[in-house]
Structure 1
Amino acid sequence: MADIQIRKYRDDDAEAVKEVFTLGMSEHIPSSFMHLLKQPPTQMVFMCVFCALLASSKSILLPILAVTLLLAGARQLVSYMFNSYIDTSLKKDLNYITETYLEQKNSCFWVAESDGRVVGTVACLPSENLPECLELKRLSVRRSHRGTGLGKALSQTVADFTRDRGYAAVVLYTSVVQTDAQKLYEHMGYYKIREFVIPELAAKILNFTLIEYRLNVQGD
């Protein structure tokens, strides 16, 4: 951490921030694909297709080909969901960071810089549903700088900002497949509020669960 500086976002950071975010989200596609394959409905569909084709065709090749195509389709579904989320995030706030975070009250966006390169990001803004809380958003660290304590430092930056602004707590949302993020938050004292499935159709098919965490920063 000695050579890393956490500072407020500048307009010339725009492309690097989007790159860090996009790469970070894309890394979750393989684990999300495995999550889908572990779901009982998915396994049932694959087994039924295989058995039905095996019984009707009396050949092993056709059911194997069908299952292979189903696997490819499932992989494409996961990729589509993440690419859609990335596109939505860019259009919603990451193309307008200054307007969304720096020009709004009780909001901010930080980057972590190492040797002139953006290696991490984090942001916060007032929670839409909990007026006493700020919401931590866009926490991402380049793979090359993970395990250095940078994720914790970025999270702590938001906690300190939240405390200084007089808010009671930080809330955030992460997904069931982001196990490293869950460990980080729980290590920092965040506790789980609830789990829920995203309402979009693709997410329902994947049984893609989000987890809401909260960290009280003003004491009990």
Structure 2
Amino acid sequence: MSTYNVRLYQDSDFLAVRRIFTHGCHGHTAAAFYKALKLPHNWLLLLVVFLLPLVTIGSILLSILDVVIVLLMLWLSGREFFHSYAKHALLDDLKDITRYYLQREGYCFWVVESPAGEVVGMVAAAISHLPGGEKHIELKRMSVARTHRGKGIAKLLCRTLINFARKSECEAVVLSTTTVQDDALRLYERIGFRHAHTTYATKFTERLVRITYVIYKYDILKS
């Protein structure tokens, strides 16, 4: 890991950061789809749409078509959630990273450089507005380029942010993620984050694929 360098964001990183973040968000679509396929209510839905045309008009082709339509709907539901999330971030805090994160007290933004000098990861720190109390730093926008995953970069970014929060005399680091992101959840728990709260999506398409938001907390005072 010593060959990877964590440093503060620079304006020259703008396009690379947006690309890594966007690709990371879009990459969750497949995971959301496969998780949706494991849900009992979706199995029931698929069974109903398959049997209904078969029983009522005896059409196997229509039954298959209905199943394909439902599968497509599940895929697009997960895709819409993560694509909308990425679009919102690009138009919000990632529109002007320097002004949003580096020119505000309590905020920060780091990138990771590969040995070749390529930006391959990112993470942001922000004053938390999540439930749970004051003096919390929120971990946001963490993403690692797919070709550089599994090399400890995400852990390095988490530790960088935790150290920033500790030096800022904050009590805890909090973050919000989804249950779709299994690898991220396992990483946070290994580092020492603990589940603090769960909320459920309210939109129909999000409920269809059972998008669940998880709040994690790392207690600095106890570490």
What TM-score, normalized to structure 2?
A: 0.94
Superposed CA RMSD? 1.4
Moved over 4 A (4+): none
Cα distance in 2 for residues equivalent to 1:78 and 1:56 = 31
Cα distance in 2 for residues equivalent to 1:52 and 1:201 = 23
Paired position in structure 2 for 1:18? 18
1:179-194 equivalences under 5 Å are: 179-194=182-197
Cα distance in 1 for residues equivalent to 2:204 and 2:99 = 31
Cα distance in 2 for residues equivalent to 1:200 and 1:185 = 27
Cα distance in 1 for residues equivalent to 2:203 and 2:142 = 23
Letter in 2 for 1:125: A
Q: Number of matched residues?
A: 220
Cα distance in 1 for residues equivalent to 2:177 and 2:70 = 28
Cα distance in 1 for residues equivalent to 2:128 and 2:203 = 21
Paired position in structure 2 for 1:102? 102
1:132 Cα deviation from its structure 2 partner? 1.8
1:96-135 equivalences under 5 Å are: 96-114=96-114, 115-129=116-130, 130-135=133-138
Matched, 1:37 2:37: yes
Of 136, 143, 146, 1:143 maps to 146
Cα deviations by residue, 1:94-113 (Å, 9 ceiling, x for unpaired): 11211211111111000001
Of 160, 165, 179, 2:168 maps to 165
Cα distance in 2 for residues equivalent to 1:191 and 1:65 = 44
Cα distance in 1 for residues equivalent to 2:99 and 2:91 = 12
**Secondary structure of the structure 2 residue equivalent to 1:104:** coil
1:161 Cα deviation from its structure 2 partner? 0.2
1:34 Cα deviation from its structure 2 partner? 1.2
Alignment gaps of 5+ in structure 2: none
Alignment gaps of 5+ in structure 1: none
Cα deviations by residue, 1:29-74 (Å, 9 ceiling, x for unpaired): 1110112222222222221111111101213121011111221222
What TM-score, normalized to structure 1?
A: 0.95
Of 202, 207, 213, 2:205 maps to 202
**Secondary structure of the structure 2 residue equivalent to 1:48:** helix
Cα deviations by residue, 1:171-214 (Å, 9 ceiling, x for unpaired): 01111011111111111111100111133443223220011111
Cα deviations by residue, 1:119-150 (Å, 9 ceiling, x for unpaired): 00001111113322100001111122222111
Letter in 2 for 1:215: Y
Letter in 2 for 1:218: L
Letter in 2 for 1:164: K
State whether residues 35 and 180 of structure 2, in contact with CA within 8 Å, keep that contact through their aligned partners in structure 1: yes
